[in-house]
Copies of this chain bind each other. A is one copy, B any other.
């Protein structure tokens, strides 16, 4: 291993006959050297002139490669001091070895709450059951006319429905790139990977980029806790408390204080999964200040972030603060988007935005799993975005969701005063009902089930016992919501 300042050995030449651009080969070569540990953090690169000679290329080719590596945060150039290896974020987490599915999906020890999640997943497809916690839009809110318009135009758009390349439909990635730009996220289409929903994005990250034993920090409670995707791959979920401004990031520091002195590796093998905007299940909107502080904290500790922005477009009164990703100029954040919450989970389309090298790697593995997401879904979405129909639909949807929220709040005022506390959500689907009475929510779940009413108890989202209920105003019909909330209040009173 090389020490700081020591000269790095170059034992490789680009293949000028390859289809791959020479500068890209150099990027990959340096990335490999750093990933493998041959070139350690802190080591200094030779001069551009020297590198150009070694690789037998023009200096401009070297400059282009180094610029790309700097943009990933892998290298850092300081005038007069040369270029140094600096990164231990994604590109270094990311191994070039074949992915290790390890003990994937073989959850070592199933958590107590998992049977509840399984039961919810199963019962959601039964008829005649009222769903008070479902994180989906009601079929009433489905924009049938807009979809008709889109589907009619599609046959003029696609020449066929053949296989697509590993990153997904170029037209969709271009449309997303434009949308993201409006939000302040600068993402080239080559930095966007289309996934079969966000769950698949998490699956790809867990399998390709994290080692078993890695720590995934997340809000406590968190939707992530109800999924098996990280624990099944051998990762340890660690809950960090929240306040009304979002995750209390300083507790990450406290929890790792001991390990931080041991080796940088401990922070290299950790990451943060966060839903800053309309957090699931609490509905919390992370404040702008907290966002800045959190990003600074993670930058300082080189803690990579998965930012899940499934709900960001579902604000009800005013636009939320910009995503964390807008602050990220060094590829520290993998940003996840999806159409599942705003329009239709059945399309099975999500997207992941990150450094090109990460996106390419995940795309290659995706091809080994399912050869890509439905191209029909992708074309429909590309048309929706580029036609402007989607933005019009969102305006209408926000209005309808706000009516639903206000109706739910009025029902809570009527039936839950004294029984629970809640905040008024500024967007998305959920009201987090914190029960004031001491009853076991698992029993409440069972009692409600006998009434043909399905609720989502907070236990399935939390790292400790939780006495809250995730109430959703997006799914159930008005009358069901009314009867359901009244019934729940009755049952709770009886249980008290």
Contact = CB atoms under 8 A, between A and B. Distances in A.
A80 interface: no
B98 A163 contact: no
A273 B121 CA distance: 33
A346 B164 contact: yes
Given A162-B344, A367-B121, A101 B101 contact: yes
Scoring A152, A229, A365 by chain B CB atoms within 10 A of each residue's CB, the highest score goes to: A152
A388 interface: no
A371 B344 contact: no
A110 to B, nearest CB: 8
A367 B142 CA distance: 23
Given A196-B370, A199-B371, A161 B344 contact: yes
Interface stretch (A284-292, A372-380, A413-421, A487-495): A372-380
A238 to B, nearest CB: 22
B151 A346 contact: no
A203 B369 contact: yes
Given A154-B151, A199-B371, A374-B374, A162 B345 contact: yes
A376 B380 contact: yes
Given A144-B155, A365-B105, A345 B163 contact: yes
A103 interface: yes
Contacts of A199: 369-371
Given A144-B155, A200-B370, A101 B104 contact: yes
Nearest to A154: B151
A472 to B, nearest CB: 13
A155 to B, nearest CB: 4
A23 B60 CA distance: 74
B368 A228 contact: yes
Contacts of A197: 370-371
Nearest to A449: B19
A375 B142 CA distance: 14
A462 to B, nearest CB: 21
Interface residues of A, number: 66
Contacts of A163: 124, 136, 345-346
A51 to B, nearest CB: 27
Contacts of A98: 105-107, 232
A126 B165 CA distance: 9
A27 interface: no
A411 interface: no
A225 B138 CA distance: 46
Nearest to A110: B98
Scoring A139, A229, A377 by chain B CB atoms within 10 A of each residue's CB, the highest score goes to: A377
Contacts of A107: 98
A454 interface: no
A99 B107 CA distance: 9
Contact of A161 (B154, B160, B345): B345
A98 B107 CA distance: 7
Interface string A89-122: 0000000011111111111000000000000010
Interface in A138-153: 138-139, 142, 144-145, 147-148, 151-152
B159 A142 contact: yes
A19 B124 CA distance: 13
Contacts of A162: 136-137, 139, 142, 344-346
Contacts of A232: 98, 368
A12 interface: no
A461 B203 CA distance: 30
A159 B154 CA distance: 20
A348 interface: yes
21 contacts: A19-B123, A98-B105, A98-B106, A99-B106, A100-B103, A101-B104, A139-B162, A142-B159, A142-B162, A147-B154, A147-B155, A151-B151, A161-B344, A161-B346, A162-B346, A163-B346, A199-B370, A203-B369, A228-B368, A347-B374, A369-B369
Interface of A: 19, 97-107, 121, 123-126, 136-139, 142, 144-145, 147-148, 151-152, 154-155, 159-165, 196-197, 199-200, 203, 207, 228-229, 232, 343-349, 365, 367-377, 380
Given A142-B161, A196-B196, A376-B380, 12 more contacts: A99-B106, A101-B102, A147-B155, A148-B152, A160-B346, A161-B343, A197-B370, A197-B371, A200-B370, A228-B368, A344-B375, A348-B372
